[in-house]
Structure 1
Amino acid sequence: MYNHTVARLTYRALLGRRRALILCALPALLLVIAVAVRAFAGVDDRAATEILGGLALATLVPLIGVIAGTGAIAPEIDDGSIVYLLSKPLNRRTIVTTKLFVAIGVSLAFTVVPILIAGIILNGNSQQIATAFTVAAIVASVAYSAVFLLLGTLSRNAVVLGLIYAMVWEALFGNLVPGARVLSIQQWSLSLAERIAADGADISSDVALPTAVILLVVATVLGTWYAGERLRSLKVAGDD
Protein backbone atom coordinates (compact mmCIF):
# COMPACT_ATOMS: atom_id res chain seq x y z
CA MET A 1 0.00 0.00 0.00
CA TYR A 2 3.02 2.29 -0.28
CA ASN A 3 5.16 3.04 -3.30
CA HIS A 4 8.49 4.86 -2.88
CA THR A 5 8.50 6.29 -6.41
CA VAL A 6 5.04 7.79 -6.01
CA ALA A 7 6.04 9.14 -2.61
CA ARG A 8 9.18 10.77 -3.98
CA LEU A 9 7.27 12.44 -6.82
CA THR A 10 4.57 13.65 -4.44
CA TYR A 11 7.07 15.08 -1.97
CA ARG A 12 8.80 16.89 -4.83
CA ALA A 13 5.50 18.39 -5.98
CA LEU A 14 4.38 19.40 -2.49
CA LEU A 15 7.68 20.92 -1.46
CA GLY A 16 8.22 23.00 -4.56
CA ARG A 17 9.39 26.55 -4.07
CA ARG A 18 5.97 28.25 -3.92
CA ARG A 19 4.30 25.74 -1.62
CA ALA A 20 7.40 25.45 0.55
CA LEU A 21 7.35 29.19 1.18
CA ILE A 22 3.72 29.07 2.28
CA LEU A 23 4.27 25.97 4.37
CA CYS A 24 7.17 27.64 6.17
CA ALA A 25 5.53 31.04 6.55
CA LEU A 26 2.48 29.83 8.46
CA PRO A 27 4.28 28.06 11.34
CA ALA A 28 6.90 30.82 11.41
CA LEU A 29 4.10 33.34 12.02
CA LEU A 30 2.79 31.21 14.90
CA LEU A 31 6.24 31.12 16.51
CA VAL A 32 6.74 34.87 16.09
CA ILE A 33 3.39 35.53 17.76
CA ALA A 34 4.23 33.10 20.58
CA VAL A 35 7.55 34.82 21.23
CA ALA A 36 5.91 38.27 21.17
CA VAL A 37 3.14 37.25 23.58
CA ARG A 38 5.63 35.65 25.96
CA ALA A 39 7.84 38.74 25.84
CA PHE A 40 5.01 41.17 26.61
CA ALA A 41 2.65 39.08 28.75
CA GLY A 42 4.96 36.54 30.36
CA VAL A 43 3.73 33.05 31.22
CA ASP A 44 -0.03 33.08 30.70
CA ASP A 45 -2.05 29.86 30.49
CA ARG A 46 -5.10 31.61 29.08
CA ALA A 47 -3.07 33.27 26.32
CA ALA A 48 -1.49 29.91 25.50
CA THR A 49 -4.91 28.27 25.20
CA GLU A 50 -6.29 31.06 23.03
CA ILE A 51 -3.32 31.13 20.66
CA LEU A 52 -2.91 27.37 20.35
CA GLY A 53 -6.64 26.87 20.00
CA GLY A 54 -7.69 29.90 18.00
CA LEU A 55 -4.64 30.35 15.79
CA ALA A 56 -2.81 27.03 15.66
CA LEU A 57 -5.56 24.39 15.74
CA ALA A 58 -8.28 26.50 14.11
CA THR A 59 -6.17 28.15 11.40
CA LEU A 60 -2.67 26.73 10.95
CA VAL A 61 -3.62 23.04 10.96
CA PRO A 62 -6.51 23.23 8.43
CA LEU A 63 -4.61 25.58 6.10
CA ILE A 64 -1.60 23.26 6.04
CA GLY A 65 -4.04 20.39 5.55
CA VAL A 66 -5.56 22.09 2.51
CA ILE A 67 -2.14 22.70 0.97
CA ALA A 68 -0.85 19.19 1.65
CA GLY A 69 -4.05 17.24 1.04
CA THR A 70 -5.16 18.84 -2.19
CA GLY A 71 -1.60 19.45 -3.39
CA ALA A 72 -0.78 15.75 -3.17
CA ILE A 73 -3.09 14.86 -6.06
CA ALA A 74 -5.25 17.71 -7.39
CA PRO A 75 -2.59 19.39 -9.58
CA GLU A 76 -1.83 16.11 -11.35
CA ILE A 77 -5.51 15.55 -12.08
CA ASP A 78 -6.01 19.14 -13.23
CA ASP A 79 -3.12 19.18 -15.69
CA GLY A 80 -3.67 15.60 -16.85
CA SER A 81 -0.26 14.34 -15.78
CA ILE A 82 -1.95 11.79 -13.51
CA VAL A 83 -2.50 9.61 -16.61
CA TYR A 84 1.22 8.84 -16.75
CA LEU A 85 1.07 7.51 -13.22
CA LEU A 86 -2.15 5.60 -13.81
CA SER A 87 -0.70 3.95 -16.90
CA LYS A 88 1.93 2.25 -14.75
CA PRO A 89 1.31 -1.22 -13.29
CA LEU A 90 0.35 0.22 -9.92
CA ASN A 91 -2.73 -0.47 -7.86
CA ARG A 92 -4.68 2.77 -7.72
CA ARG A 93 -5.39 2.37 -4.04
CA THR A 94 -1.64 2.15 -3.50
CA ILE A 95 -1.30 5.49 -5.27
CA VAL A 96 -3.95 7.03 -3.02
CA THR A 97 -2.58 5.66 0.25
CA THR A 98 0.95 6.67 -0.69
CA LYS A 99 -0.16 10.20 -1.44
CA LEU A 100 -2.11 10.25 1.81
CA PHE A 101 0.97 9.19 3.79
CA VAL A 102 2.96 11.96 2.13
CA ALA A 103 0.25 14.55 2.81
CA ILE A 104 0.08 13.46 6.45
CA GLY A 105 3.85 13.58 6.77
CA VAL A 106 4.03 17.10 5.38
CA SER A 107 1.12 18.27 7.52
CA LEU A 108 2.66 16.86 10.69
CA ALA A 109 6.07 18.35 9.93
CA PHE A 110 4.69 21.86 9.50
CA THR A 111 2.12 21.81 12.32
CA VAL A 112 2.99 19.47 15.18
CA VAL A 113 6.54 20.63 15.89
CA PRO A 114 5.75 24.37 15.64
CA ILE A 115 2.68 23.97 17.87
CA LEU A 116 4.64 22.10 20.51
CA ILE A 117 7.43 24.68 20.44
CA ALA A 118 4.93 27.56 20.56
CA GLY A 119 3.19 25.97 23.53
CA ILE A 120 6.45 25.58 25.42
CA ILE A 121 7.39 29.18 24.63
CA LEU A 122 4.02 30.48 25.82
CA ASN A 123 3.72 28.70 29.16
CA GLY A 124 6.28 25.91 29.39
CA ASN A 125 3.59 23.26 28.91
CA SER A 126 1.87 24.26 32.13
CA GLN A 127 -1.34 22.23 32.68
CA GLN A 128 -0.28 20.07 29.71
CA ILE A 129 -1.64 22.68 27.33
CA ALA A 130 1.16 22.33 24.77
CA THR A 131 0.90 18.53 24.87
CA ALA A 132 -2.88 18.61 24.52
CA PHE A 133 -2.84 20.81 21.44
CA THR A 134 0.04 18.87 19.93
CA VAL A 135 -1.94 15.63 20.14
CA ALA A 136 -5.01 17.43 18.77
CA ALA A 137 -2.92 18.71 15.85
CA ILE A 138 -1.70 15.18 15.07
CA VAL A 139 -5.17 13.64 14.81
CA ALA A 140 -6.60 16.68 13.03
CA SER A 141 -3.76 16.63 10.47
CA VAL A 142 -4.49 12.99 9.63
CA ALA A 143 -8.22 13.62 9.17
CA TYR A 144 -7.73 16.85 7.21
CA SER A 145 -5.23 15.16 4.90
CA ALA A 146 -7.70 12.38 4.06
CA VAL A 147 -10.64 14.74 3.56
CA PHE A 148 -8.73 17.24 1.44
CA LEU A 149 -7.07 14.47 -0.58
CA LEU A 150 -10.56 13.23 -1.40
CA LEU A 151 -11.59 16.77 -2.29
CA GLY A 152 -8.66 16.90 -4.70
CA THR A 153 -10.13 13.95 -6.61
CA LEU A 154 -13.63 15.42 -6.66
CA SER A 155 -13.21 18.98 -7.89
CA ARG A 156 -10.94 21.21 -9.92
CA ASN A 157 -11.60 23.86 -7.29
CA ALA A 158 -10.37 21.69 -4.43
CA VAL A 159 -8.23 24.41 -2.83
CA VAL A 160 -11.08 26.93 -2.84
CA LEU A 161 -13.56 24.40 -1.46
CA GLY A 162 -11.04 23.32 1.15
CA LEU A 163 -10.54 26.90 2.26
CA ILE A 164 -14.29 27.42 2.43
CA TYR A 165 -14.64 24.38 4.67
CA ALA A 166 -11.70 25.32 6.87
CA MET A 167 -12.26 29.05 7.14
CA VAL A 168 -16.03 29.41 6.74
CA TRP A 169 -17.59 26.18 7.97
CA GLU A 170 -15.19 25.42 10.82
CA ALA A 171 -13.95 28.86 11.83
CA LEU A 172 -17.24 30.74 11.35
CA PHE A 173 -20.20 28.36 11.56
CA GLY A 174 -18.31 25.98 13.83
CA ASN A 175 -17.94 28.74 16.40
CA LEU A 176 -21.34 30.40 15.98
CA VAL A 177 -23.75 27.55 15.23
CA PRO A 178 -23.74 24.79 17.88
CA GLY A 179 -25.10 22.10 15.54
CA ALA A 180 -22.33 22.69 13.00
CA ARG A 181 -19.67 21.82 15.55
CA VAL A 182 -20.61 18.16 15.38
CA LEU A 183 -19.30 18.11 11.80
CA SER A 184 -16.06 19.92 12.60
CA ILE A 185 -12.69 18.17 12.56
CA GLN A 186 -11.42 20.99 14.74
CA GLN A 187 -14.01 20.19 17.42
CA TRP A 188 -13.30 16.45 17.22
CA SER A 189 -9.59 16.99 17.81
CA LEU A 190 -10.31 19.58 20.48
CA SER A 191 -12.17 16.87 22.40
CA LEU A 192 -8.88 14.98 22.76
CA ALA A 193 -7.10 18.15 23.86
CA GLU A 194 -9.75 18.66 26.52
CA ARG A 195 -9.18 15.18 27.90
CA ILE A 196 -5.38 15.49 27.96
CA ALA A 197 -5.10 18.98 29.47
CA ALA A 198 -5.55 19.68 33.15
CA ASP A 199 -9.01 20.65 34.40
CA GLY A 200 -8.05 24.28 34.78
CA ALA A 201 -6.76 24.68 31.23
CA ASP A 202 -10.10 26.05 29.94
CA ILE A 203 -10.18 23.76 26.88
CA SER A 204 -13.59 22.47 25.88
CA SER A 205 -15.33 20.81 22.95
CA ASP A 206 -19.01 20.34 22.18
CA VAL A 207 -18.33 16.80 20.98
CA ALA A 208 -17.94 13.95 23.46
CA LEU A 209 -14.64 12.09 23.26
CA PRO A 210 -16.00 8.69 22.14
CA THR A 211 -18.02 10.36 19.38
CA ALA A 212 -15.03 12.49 18.37
CA VAL A 213 -12.74 9.46 18.05
CA ILE A 214 -15.32 7.56 15.97
CA LEU A 215 -15.88 10.53 13.65
CA LEU A 216 -12.14 11.09 13.19
CA VAL A 217 -11.66 7.45 12.21
CA VAL A 218 -14.71 7.47 9.92
CA ALA A 219 -13.64 10.67 8.15
CA THR A 220 -10.12 9.35 7.59
CA VAL A 221 -11.12 5.87 6.44
CA LEU A 222 -14.04 6.94 4.24
CA GLY A 223 -12.08 9.83 2.76
CA THR A 224 -9.23 7.52 1.80
CA TRP A 225 -11.54 4.79 0.48
CA TYR A 226 -13.63 7.11 -1.65
CA ALA A 227 -10.54 8.87 -3.02
CA GLY A 228 -9.39 5.44 -4.17
CA GLU A 229 -12.76 4.84 -5.81
CA ARG A 230 -12.55 8.16 -7.60
CA LEU A 231 -9.08 7.38 -8.87
CA ARG A 232 -10.21 3.98 -10.07
CA SER A 233 -12.95 5.67 -12.12
CA LEU A 234 -10.41 7.75 -14.06
CA LYS A 235 -9.77 6.26 -17.47
CA VAL A 236 -6.53 6.25 -19.38
CA ALA A 237 -5.65 4.92 -22.79
CA GLY A 238 -5.70 1.15 -22.68
CA ASP A 239 -8.26 0.89 -19.84
CA ASP A 240 -11.25 -1.30 -20.51
Structure 2
Amino acid sequence: MYNHTVARLTYRALLGRRRALILCALPVLLLVIAAAIRAMTGADDQTAADVLGGFALATMVPLIGVIAGTGAIGPEIDDGSVVYLLAKPVKRPTIIFTKLLVAIGVSVAFSAVPTLIAGFLLNGNSQQIAVAYAVAAAVASIAYSAIFLLLGTVTRHAVVVGLVYALVWEALFGSIVDGARTLSVQQWALALAQKIGADGAISSAVGLPLALVLLIGVTVVATWYAGQKLRSLTVAGDD
Protein backbone atom coordinates (compact mmCIF):
# COMPACT_ATOMS: atom_id res chain seq x y z
CA MET A 1 0.00 0.00 0.00
CA TYR A 2 3.05 2.29 0.04
CA ASN A 3 5.01 3.28 -3.04
CA HIS A 4 8.43 4.83 -2.55
CA THR A 5 8.50 6.51 -5.97
CA VAL A 6 5.14 8.20 -5.40
CA ALA A 7 6.29 9.24 -1.93
CA ARG A 8 9.53 10.73 -3.22
CA LEU A 9 7.73 12.73 -5.91
CA THR A 10 5.15 13.96 -3.41
CA TYR A 11 7.78 15.03 -0.87
CA ARG A 12 9.62 16.88 -3.62
CA ALA A 13 6.43 18.70 -4.62
CA LEU A 14 5.46 19.61 -1.05
CA LEU A 15 8.90 20.66 0.10
CA GLY A 16 9.86 22.76 -2.90
CA ARG A 17 11.27 26.17 -2.11
CA ARG A 18 8.03 28.16 -2.28
CA ARG A 19 5.85 25.68 -0.39
CA ALA A 20 8.55 25.10 2.22
CA LEU A 21 8.68 28.82 2.95
CA ILE A 22 4.90 28.93 3.35
CA LEU A 23 4.95 25.85 5.58
CA CYS A 24 7.64 27.38 7.79
CA ALA A 25 5.98 30.78 8.17
CA LEU A 26 3.24 29.85 10.65
CA PRO A 27 5.39 27.64 12.92
CA VAL A 28 8.05 30.35 13.08
CA LEU A 29 5.38 32.92 13.93
CA LEU A 30 4.03 30.64 16.68
CA LEU A 31 7.48 30.23 18.22
CA VAL A 32 8.17 33.97 18.06
CA ILE A 33 4.83 34.70 19.75
CA ALA A 34 5.48 32.07 22.42
CA ALA A 35 8.96 33.39 23.17
CA ALA A 36 7.74 36.99 23.31
CA ILE A 37 4.83 36.17 25.64
CA ARG A 38 7.08 34.16 27.95
CA ALA A 39 9.60 37.03 28.09
CA MET A 40 6.90 39.62 28.83
CA THR A 41 4.56 37.77 31.18
CA GLY A 42 6.43 34.72 32.42
CA ALA A 43 5.02 31.19 32.59
CA ASP A 44 1.25 31.01 32.83
CA ASP A 45 -0.90 27.93 32.21
CA GLN A 46 -3.98 29.79 30.99
CA THR A 47 -1.95 31.91 28.58
CA ALA A 48 -0.26 28.80 27.23
CA ALA A 49 -3.62 27.11 26.68
CA ASP A 50 -5.01 30.24 24.99
CA VAL A 51 -2.08 30.55 22.57
CA LEU A 52 -1.85 26.85 21.74
CA GLY A 53 -5.61 26.46 21.43
CA GLY A 54 -6.44 29.77 19.78
CA PHE A 55 -3.56 30.06 17.34
CA ALA A 56 -1.76 26.72 17.01
CA LEU A 57 -4.67 24.27 16.95
CA ALA A 58 -7.44 26.52 15.61
CA THR A 59 -5.47 28.32 12.90
CA MET A 60 -1.97 26.99 12.21
CA VAL A 61 -2.78 23.27 12.11
CA PRO A 62 -5.70 23.45 9.62
CA LEU A 63 -3.82 25.90 7.39
CA ILE A 64 -0.81 23.61 7.24
CA GLY A 65 -3.22 20.77 6.55
CA VAL A 66 -4.59 22.73 3.58
CA ILE A 67 -1.11 23.24 2.15
CA ALA A 68 0.03 19.65 2.68
CA GLY A 69 -3.24 17.89 1.83
CA THR A 70 -4.15 19.78 -1.32
CA GLY A 71 -0.52 20.12 -2.38
CA ALA A 72 -0.03 16.36 -2.29
CA ILE A 73 -2.18 15.84 -5.39
CA GLY A 74 -4.00 19.02 -6.44
CA PRO A 75 -1.22 20.56 -8.56
CA GLU A 76 -0.71 17.29 -10.46
CA ILE A 77 -4.40 17.21 -11.37
CA ASP A 78 -4.46 20.90 -12.28
CA ASP A 79 -1.51 20.74 -14.69
CA GLY A 80 -2.41 17.31 -16.07
CA SER A 81 0.79 15.61 -14.96
CA VAL A 82 -1.25 13.16 -12.90
CA VAL A 83 -1.89 11.32 -16.18
CA TYR A 84 1.74 10.19 -16.25
CA LEU A 85 1.47 8.94 -12.67
CA LEU A 86 -1.76 7.07 -13.38
CA ALA A 87 -0.16 5.44 -16.41
CA LYS A 88 2.30 3.65 -14.12
CA PRO A 89 1.47 0.14 -12.89
CA VAL A 90 0.52 1.40 -9.43
CA LYS A 91 -2.87 0.77 -7.87
CA ARG A 92 -4.94 3.90 -7.37
CA PRO A 93 -5.56 3.28 -3.65
CA THR A 94 -1.80 2.88 -3.23
CA ILE A 95 -1.26 6.31 -4.79
CA ILE A 96 -3.80 7.93 -2.47
CA PHE A 97 -2.56 6.11 0.62
CA THR A 98 1.06 7.00 -0.11
CA LYS A 99 0.22 10.65 -0.71
CA LEU A 100 -1.84 10.70 2.47
CA LEU A 101 1.08 9.36 4.51
CA VAL A 102 3.37 12.00 3.03
CA ALA A 103 0.84 14.76 3.73
CA ILE A 104 0.44 13.52 7.31
CA GLY A 105 4.20 13.41 7.83
CA VAL A 106 4.65 16.95 6.56
CA SER A 107 1.66 18.25 8.53
CA VAL A 108 2.81 16.69 11.79
CA ALA A 109 6.38 17.92 11.33
CA PHE A 110 5.29 21.50 10.67
CA SER A 111 2.46 21.66 13.21
CA ALA A 112 2.73 19.18 16.10
CA VAL A 113 6.47 19.62 16.65
CA PRO A 114 6.33 23.47 16.76
CA THR A 115 3.27 23.24 19.01
CA LEU A 116 5.21 21.09 21.46
CA ILE A 117 8.18 23.46 21.44
CA ALA A 118 5.91 26.49 21.84
CA GLY A 119 4.22 24.83 24.81
CA PHE A 120 7.53 24.30 26.56
CA LEU A 121 8.47 27.92 25.83
CA LEU A 122 5.20 29.20 27.26
CA ASN A 123 4.95 27.24 30.50
CA GLY A 124 7.47 24.41 30.52
CA ASN A 125 4.75 21.80 29.92
CA SER A 126 3.04 22.58 33.23
CA GLN A 127 -0.16 20.50 33.57
CA GLN A 128 0.93 18.57 30.46
CA ILE A 129 -0.41 21.41 28.30
CA ALA A 130 2.43 21.31 25.76
CA VAL A 131 2.21 17.53 25.27
CA ALA A 132 -1.60 17.58 25.19
CA TYR A 133 -1.79 20.20 22.46
CA ALA A 134 1.04 18.58 20.49
CA VAL A 135 -0.83 15.26 20.47
CA ALA A 136 -4.03 17.09 19.50
CA ALA A 137 -2.17 18.80 16.65
CA ALA A 138 -0.80 15.48 15.42
CA VAL A 139 -4.21 13.78 15.53
CA ALA A 140 -5.91 16.74 13.85
CA SER A 141 -3.19 16.72 11.16
CA ILE A 142 -4.18 13.18 10.20
CA ALA A 143 -7.84 14.10 9.71
CA TYR A 144 -7.06 17.39 7.96
CA SER A 145 -4.64 15.68 5.58
CA ALA A 146 -7.32 13.19 4.54
CA ILE A 147 -10.00 15.88 4.16
CA PHE A 148 -7.84 18.23 2.11
CA LEU A 149 -6.36 15.42 0.02
CA LEU A 150 -9.94 14.54 -0.89
CA LEU A 151 -10.62 18.18 -1.79
CA GLY A 152 -7.60 18.09 -4.07
CA THR A 153 -9.17 15.23 -6.02
CA VAL A 154 -12.69 16.65 -6.35
CA THR A 155 -12.14 20.33 -7.20
CA ARG A 156 -9.62 22.53 -8.93
CA HIS A 157 -10.32 25.17 -6.28
CA ALA A 158 -9.22 22.95 -3.42
CA VAL A 159 -6.93 25.56 -1.85
CA VAL A 160 -9.64 28.22 -1.83
CA VAL A 161 -12.24 25.83 -0.44
CA GLY A 162 -9.73 24.55 2.10
CA LEU A 163 -8.83 28.05 3.27
CA VAL A 164 -12.49 28.94 3.69
CA TYR A 165 -13.02 25.77 5.71
CA ALA A 166 -9.91 26.33 7.84
CA LEU A 167 -10.41 30.04 8.52
CA VAL A 168 -14.20 30.27 8.67
CA TRP A 169 -15.40 26.91 9.94
CA GLU A 170 -12.52 25.71 12.13
CA ALA A 171 -11.03 28.98 13.37
CA LEU A 172 -14.32 30.87 13.74
CA PHE A 173 -17.46 28.72 13.95
CA GLY A 174 -15.68 25.69 15.36
CA SER A 175 -14.43 27.80 18.26
CA ILE A 176 -17.43 29.90 19.21
CA VAL A 177 -20.66 28.44 17.77
CA ASP A 178 -22.05 25.64 19.92
CA GLY A 179 -23.77 23.64 17.17
CA ALA A 180 -20.74 23.74 14.89
CA ARG A 181 -18.37 22.43 17.52
CA THR A 182 -19.61 18.87 17.21
CA LEU A 183 -18.55 18.88 13.55
CA SER A 184 -15.15 20.49 14.13
CA VAL A 185 -11.90 18.54 13.79
CA GLN A 186 -10.42 21.02 16.24
CA GLN A 187 -12.91 20.02 18.94
CA TRP A 188 -12.39 16.32 18.25
CA ALA A 189 -8.65 16.76 18.75
CA LEU A 190 -9.25 18.86 21.87
CA ALA A 191 -11.14 15.94 23.40
CA LEU A 192 -7.93 13.92 23.32
CA ALA A 193 -5.93 16.88 24.64
CA GLN A 194 -8.39 17.21 27.50
CA LYS A 195 -7.77 13.59 28.44
CA ILE A 196 -4.00 14.12 28.50
CA GLY A 197 -3.91 17.52 30.21
CA ALA A 198 -4.54 18.17 33.88
CA ASP A 199 -8.14 18.55 35.04
CA GLY A 200 -9.60 21.87 33.97
CA ALA A 201 -6.59 22.91 31.87
CA ILE A 202 -8.21 22.05 28.51
CA SER A 203 -11.83 21.54 27.54
CA SER A 204 -13.66 20.21 24.49
CA ALA A 205 -17.29 20.41 23.42
CA VAL A 206 -17.15 16.77 22.26
CA GLY A 207 -16.75 13.67 24.41
CA LEU A 208 -13.67 11.51 23.79
CA PRO A 209 -15.45 8.35 22.55
CA LEU A 210 -17.46 10.31 19.97
CA ALA A 211 -14.40 12.36 19.01
CA LEU A 212 -12.34 9.23 18.30
CA VAL A 213 -15.13 7.69 16.23
CA LEU A 214 -15.49 10.89 14.19
CA LEU A 215 -11.73 11.32 13.70
CA ILE A 216 -11.29 7.75 12.49
CA GLY A 217 -14.49 7.78 10.45
CA VAL A 218 -13.75 11.02 8.62
CA THR A 219 -10.16 9.97 7.89
CA VAL A 220 -11.17 6.57 6.53
CA VAL A 221 -14.12 7.81 4.49
CA ALA A 222 -12.21 10.75 3.02
CA THR A 223 -9.29 8.50 2.05
CA TRP A 224 -11.58 5.89 0.50
CA TYR A 225 -13.56 8.45 -1.46
CA ALA A 226 -10.38 10.13 -2.72
CA GLY A 227 -9.32 6.74 -4.07
CA GLN A 228 -12.66 6.36 -5.83
CA LYS A 229 -12.38 9.81 -7.40
CA LEU A 230 -8.87 9.04 -8.59
CA ARG A 231 -10.11 5.80 -10.13
CA SER A 232 -12.85 7.68 -12.01
CA LEU A 233 -10.27 10.20 -13.17
CA THR A 234 -8.25 7.33 -14.59
CA VAL A 235 -11.25 6.08 -16.55
CA ALA A 236 -11.85 9.55 -17.94
CA GLY A 237 -8.23 9.80 -18.97
CA ASP A 238 -8.29 6.40 -20.59
CA ASP A 239 -11.38 7.31 -22.54
Question: Do Structure 1 and Structure 2 share a fold, with TM-score over 0.5?
Answer: yes
Shift of 1:82: 0.1
Shift of 1:238: 7.8
**What is the TM-score normalised by the length of structure 2?**
0.98
Q: Is contact 1:192-1:209 (8 Å) kept?
A: yes
Separation in structure 1 between the aligned mates of residue 75 and residue 169 of structure 2, nearest angstrom: 24
- Unpaired runs of at least 5, structure 1: none
Tell me which moved more, 113-122 or 227-236.
227-236
Aligned length: 239
1:76 alignment counterpart? 76
**What is the TM-score normalised by the length of structure 1?**
0.97
Separation in structure 2 between the aligned mates of residue 158 and residue 192 of structure 1, nearest angstrom: 28
Per-residue CA deviation, residues 140-161 of structure 1 (Å, 9 max, x unaligned), is: 0000000000000010000010
Which residue identity lines up with residue 161 of structure 1 in the other structure? V
Separation in structure 1 between the aligned mates of residue 33 and residue 133 of structure 2, nearest angstrom: 16
Shift of 1:200: 3.6
Distance change >3 Å, CA 183–CA 31, structure 1 → 2: same
2:24 alignment counterpart? 24
1:1-240 equivalent positions in 2, closer than 5 A: 1-201=1-201, 203-235=202-234, 239=238
Distance change >3 Å, CA 238–CA 198, structure 1 → 2: closer
Shift of 1:195: 1.0
Per-residue CA deviation, residues 105-131 of structure 1 (Å, 9 max, x unaligned), is: 000110111111100010000000001
Q: Is contact 1:127-1:200 (8 Å) kept?
A: no
Which residue identity lines up with residue 233 of structure 2 in the other structure? L
Shift of 1:236: 6.1
Separation in structure 2 between the aligned mates of residue 175 and residue 134 of structure 1, nearest angstrom: 18
Which residue identity lines up with residue 182 of structure 2 in the other structure? V
Q: Is contact 2:61-2:141 (8 Å) kept?
A: yes
Q: Is contact 1:188-1:207 (8 Å) kept?
A: yes
Distance change >3 Å, CA 204–CA 87, structure 1 → 2: same
Which residue identity lines up with residue 25 of structure 1 in the other structure? A
Distance change >3 Å, CA 115–CA 237, structure 1 → 2: closer
Q: Is contact 2:132-2:192 (8 Å) kept?
A: yes
Separation in structure 2 between the aligned mates of residue 236 and residue 221 of structure 1, nearest angstrom: 23
Separation in structure 2 between the aligned mates of residue 191 and residue 179 of structure 1, nearest angstrom: 16
Per-residue CA deviation, residues 7-31 of structure 1 (Å, 9 max, x unaligned), is: 0000000011110001111100000
Which residue identity lines up with residue 32 of structure 1 in the other structure? V
Separation in structure 2 between the aligned mates of residue 160 and residue 81 of structure 1, nearest angstrom: 21
Distance change >3 Å, CA 16–CA 128, structure 1 → 2: same
Separation in structure 1 between the aligned mates of residue 112 and residue 131 of structure 2, nearest angstrom: 10
Q: Is contact 1:87-1:236 (8 Å) kept?
A: no
Separation in structure 1 between the aligned mates of residue 136 and residue 34 of structure 2, nearest angstrom: 18
Tell me which moved more, 26-35 or 170-179.
170-179
SS of alignment partner, residue 199 of structure 1? coil
Shift of 1:239: 3.4
Tell me which moved more, 149-158 or 171-180.
171-180
Shift of 1:235: 3.1
Separation in structure 2 between the aligned mates of residue 167 and residue 144 of structure 1, nearest angstrom: 13
SS of alignment partner, residue 96 of structure 2? helix
Per-residue CA deviation, residues 160-185 of structure 1 (Å, 9 max, x unaligned), is: 10111111011122223211111100
Which residue identity lines up with residue 207 of structure 1 in the other structure? V
Percent pairwise identity: 74
**Considering only aligned residues, what root-mean-square deviation do their CA atoms show, in Å?**
1.2
